[in-house]
Structure 1
Amino acid sequence: MIRDEIKISSEEREVFDKKQIALAIRNSTFNDDLKCSLLEEGILEKCLGCSLKYICDGIDQVVDNYVDKTTKVVDNFDFE
């Protein structure tokens, strides 16, 4: 069974699936983007002062680190 949900069912509390969060971040490095719905929907005009800014900045850093660690130059070609 393949599930595409960030939450895992739990009777006691909300539980979030790290795999789904990681896949969403990884998939954004291909042909997708990460955007903030608070900015997109006009709820906030800028990130400054947002209580989520620290987390969003961390996600951006995770994306950059992932790209750095998984991008490898295999060979260089010289066309003369």
Structure 2
Amino acid sequence: MIRDEIKIGSEEGEVFDKKQIALAIRNSTFSDELKCSLLEDGILDKCLGCSLKYICDGINQVVDDYVEKTTEVVNNFNFE
């Protein structure tokens, strides 16, 4: 069974699933990408002044760090 939900039920109520958040961020480094629905839907025209900007910037940094830490150059080729 595959669950694609960011919230899970617990005895305390609903909680956010870190695994799903981490997978969404990781998957954005492959063939997906991260976008802001506030910008896409025209609710905001720029990030400046948005209360979520700090979090979004942190997510972008996590993506960059993940790519850097998991991308390994195995060999270099020179065709000269």
Unaligned runs of 5+ residues in structure 2 are none
Share of identical aligned residues, percent? Answer: 85
Number of aligned positions between the proteins: 80
Structure that is richer in strand per residue: 2
For 1:34-73, list aligned pairs within 5 A.
34-73=34-73
Q: TM-score with structure 2 length normalisation?
A: 0.93
Shift of residue 2 of structure 1?
A: 1.9
Q: Distance between the aligned counterparts of 1:61 and 1:75, measured in 2?
A: 27
What is the CA deviation profile of residues 6-58 of structure 1, one whole-angstrom value per residue up to 9, with x for unaligned ones? 00013533300000000000000001110000000000111111110000000
Alpha-carbon RMSD across the aligned residues, in angstroms, is 1.1
Question: Are 1:16 and 2:16 an aligned pair?
Answer: yes
Moved over 6 A (4+): none
> With structure 1 as the length reference, what TM-score do the two structures score?
0.93
Unaligned runs of 5+ in 1: none
Deviation at 1:77, TM superposition (A): 1.1
